[in-house]
Chain A
């Protein structure tokens, strides 16, 4: 009787110690789910979801306080991937899905105020005080955050055009013909 109690107690102590050690040794910093969600988000950092950047939105989704359909740049594709990852239901996007676009500064009108540089979340605008600014096209995520601060309204958005580099083969569509 005593022996069995002792054995059980010993077992509990050993296992407890092992678990305690493992929880310290193999501690995971941060929430791995947040990382996974963040990897699906398009990283435009546009704030259209109501959170200040993609990571905060990922955190909000992970904690269950935000819906998965708040990200217009991610599109329905992103919603579907998030739904797959989280086992939630696919919902239609809250806002309209826009084609990919890029910001363009009209250099002639630009007064060099640097306000757009401060607004750009991904450092895609070059320029200095009282010098012309310009947007580095390939780095622009099309988040539109530079448009409101511009005092002379010299920034406009243009949809990305198709070229030989980003051209894609289309989904095969077979024309339906009337049977003879």
Chain B
């Protein structure tokens, strides 16, 4: 099939470095000693833990339930025992920790019951829910929940379903190998997605430096007698960016800060489609993914590795050379240096590169911008990186937004071509996260202001109501007084008498003798004791009722409160014992 191709502006052609890792077939990574499965592995809400420490889990068992629609489930990567649900280093440039489920494998690697889903008979919304509960997210690296992208907009019909097998990032070959080895399953997955979206046309875009993958996918499409177009797109970074690939394949240009969905185009990564197919056809949730392990290593290769495998054990499979000084996740253009190898493999992990001084020489010192405009020519989004750079550097964030900083996909083309070696993308990331932080703060301040004003209004109203009540009472009293001076006088006389009567009991008791006193006091104590007993019983009965489906943050908070209580109880000793001895004494005296 001949198809007219379009092109995007800018882009670069870095050394691909892909060949070392495609020499061998995808390997099966062995089980590690421990799994650390983070509960937050998608855009949107973090999954809620559904298991307890000490519980045994089966392979593929749901351990984290999706928190609402914009979230995705998390599953046990193997059978074993949950050791803890605790904070563990996240696979994130910050090196901060995130709530993770620690699982000790039992070695048997036994599946829980897998139920294939007859998705053809189910209504589409049910299929989407199942994809969410199978943890299917965008495996290109953005981990956007796929079921949300599979919801067609009511107003726009989906004309093109674009399947992204371009894999433009240097060194990365996981999608390439997946298409070579599992083309049939991937194409079957595409069929499901097409049905769910009711897409008119399917375009599979693969960079022309992967002839084997193109051939495999074409063969699979022919075997299954489908009308999908497998298109070889010119190799130019970042042809695998969603907006760039859509531009190349369909000629549609997605406008600034809008989504491709609005133009009737939806784009998915090949690995995502593959996992969705496994989830629906075999009932296997996403518990592993293909990861490229390459760079400064003895055995570069692609591995099928379980989610949650600690990176230290994973990278050891490739035997990194001795001069390795860093590990990158996600490729040399867009990836980041991993702060710790204790972090686990997550759904966003597509490639791990061992870096060395020879492979990635340290950045030469940053020189002043000479306004050559090379960055603007390289920018695939037709932004003006030099303008963004000045304003980010000077922290004039309003201006960076005027120059559309949020359309920057951080592809790194500008930094790559900059003759002054300015780390432009780092400046843009800094500016973006500052703007987000400010927006968060502004939102919080506005909410605080609203609450403050509401509170003031409430206080004002309460004051008025009180004044009104007092005025009413005063008026009533005045009216009463007016009604007759005599009853009022009577009342005034009456009260001291009443007080006198109240004072009498002790005197009478004194006169009556100690036996009577004891009796009365014992009775009183017994009543108090009974009341306390009741209160205690009530307290014991009163278990917290709203403790199902807590978010991990809430569960953590409760655990912290309990720990604090326990600590305090042990510090101050047991709470003061109820006065049992007086009662005993009273009973013996009786």
Contacts and interface: CB of A to CB of B under 8 A. Distances in A.
A168 B561 contact: no
A139 B451 CA distance: 9
A4 interface: no
Contacts, number: 80
B363 A167 contact: no
B564 A108 contact: yes
Interface stretch (B88-96, B193-201, B240-248): B88-96
Given A166-B437, A168-B434, A177-B365, A54 B449 contact: yes
Interface stretch (A25-33, A42-50, A90-98): A42-50
Contacts of B426: 169, 172
Contacts of B93: 169
Contacts of B569: 108
Interface stretch (B149-157, B261-269, B440-448): B440-448
A44, A124, A169, A171: most-surrounded residue (chain B CB, <10 A): A169
A41 B429 CA distance: 26
Interface in A2-45: 38, 41-45
B452 A174 contact: no
A164 interface: yes
Interface in B14-44: 40
A121 B455 contact: yes
B550 interface: no
Interface in A75-122: 106-109, 121-122
Interface in B413-467: 423, 426-427, 429-430, 432-434, 436-437, 440-441, 444-449, 451-452, 454-455
Interface residues on A, range: 20 to 34
Interface in B448-503: 448-449, 451-452, 454-455
A123 B565 contact: no
A114 B426 CA distance: 48
A166 B40 contact: no
Contacts of A123: 451, 454-455
A170 B452 contact: no
Contacts of B529: none
Interface in A137-180: 138-139, 141, 162-164, 166-172, 174, 176-177
A100 to B, nearest CB: 9
Given A162-B96, A164-B98, A171-B430, A107 B363 contact: no
B316 interface: no
B366 interface: yes
Given A162-B96, A166-B437, A122 B427 contact: no
Interface of B: 40, 90, 92-94, 96, 98, 363, 365-366, 423, 426-427, 429-430, 432-434, 436-437, 440-441, 444-449, 451-452, 454-455, 561, 564-565, 568-569
Given A139-B447, A172-B427, 8 more contacts: A54-B449, A123-B455, A124-B451, A162-B94, A169-B429, A169-B433, A172-B366, A174-B423
